[in-house]
């Protein structure tokens, strides 16, 4: 992708055009998340790239022409069968992930479990900002899971609601790696979703987080 990004910024117009066409072809296999690699480009270039995406909207990639072939006996001869394997490139295969573990140090964990609700709330906001800045993160959360799980059942309902939203963002940023932490968070999710006083039963974010596990 770094090579493609250099190509779309090339001074030669033929190289730029070919690179944009290549991006359109890649979008058939990778999907809309390919946009994330070019979101910081100049508006004029983004417009060209988006136009190329739209040109291929609704199209499906062609069937692979290479695969494992095997001979099988059939009435009077050998027949070659080709195993078609669908290309399944997903977000976690192509996007670099940030390890936020070092930022979740002892000082931060203490803030998240502080007796003062304002300090706990500020820690949640800090965590939310860390996740938003990193966008895509690894599964390394250090000592965070059990402490954040406590905030899901916090005596302060506003903090509990904020913690649920943070968990949603955490799961989205982490992707499939969030499954390793579901044991820590699941009891808190269920308690939040069952609290009718604050309407958690109608909270789409809570349901989304729970579904990720």
Q: What does 163-202 look like in DSSP terms, one character per residue?
A: HHHHHHHHHHHHGGGGGGGHHHHHHHHHHHHT-GGGTGGG
What DSSP character marks residue 62?
P
How confident is the model at residue 38, as a pLDDT? 83
Q: Which two tokens stand for residue 140?
A: 């390394």
How confident is the model at residue 21, as a pLDDT? 92
Extents of the domains making up the chain: 2-55, 96-212
Q: Considering only the top CATH level, what class is 96-212? A: mainly alpha
The dihedrals phi and psi of 186, each to the nearest 5 degrees, come to -55, -45
Q: Tell me the pLDDT of the chain (213 aa) as tens digits.
A: 889 888 988 899 999 999 999 999 988 888 777 877 887 788 888 889 889 888 888 888 887 777 655 544 444 444 444 444 444 444 455 667 889 999 999 999 999 999 999 999 999 999 999 999 888 899 899 999 999 999 988 888 889 889 999 998 998 888 888 888 888 888 888 877 766 555 444 444 444 444 444
The pTM score is 0.60
Q: How far apart, in whole angstroms, are the C-alpha atoms of residue 179 and residue 183?
A: 8
CA atoms within 13 A on the CB side of 153: 13
How confident is the model at residue 182, as a pLDDT? 86
Closest CA to 127 of 164, 168, 170, 157: 170
How confident is the model at residue 212, as a pLDDT? 44
How confident is the model at residue 194, as a pLDDT? 67
């Amino acid at each position: 992708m770094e090579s493609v990004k250099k190509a779309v910024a090339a001074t030669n117009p033929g190289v730029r055009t070919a690179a944009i066409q290549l991006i359109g072809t890649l979008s058939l296999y990778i999907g809309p998340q390919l946009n994330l690699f070019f979101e910081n480009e100049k508006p004029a270039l983004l417009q060209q790239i988006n136009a190329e995406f739209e040109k291929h909207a609704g199209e499906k990639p062609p069937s692979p022409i290479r695969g494992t072939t095997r001979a099988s006996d059939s009435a009077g001869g050998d027949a070659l069968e080709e195993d078609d394997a669908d290309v399944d490139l997903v977000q976690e295969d192509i996007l670099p992930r940030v390890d936020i573990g070092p930022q979740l140090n002892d000082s931060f964990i203490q803030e998240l479990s502080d007796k003062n609700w304002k300090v706990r709330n500020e820690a949640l906001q800090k965590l939310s900002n860390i996740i938003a800045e990193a966008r895509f993160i690894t599964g390394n959360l250090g000592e965070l899971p059990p402490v954040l799980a406590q905030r899901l059942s916090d005596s302060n309902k506003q903090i509990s609601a904020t913690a649920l939203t943070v968990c949603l963002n955490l799961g989205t940023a982490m992707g499939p790696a969030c499954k390793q932490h579901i044991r820590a968070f699941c009891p808190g999710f269920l308690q939040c979703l069952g609290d009718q006083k604050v309407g958690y039963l109608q909270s789409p974010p809570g349901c989304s987080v729970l579904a990720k596990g």
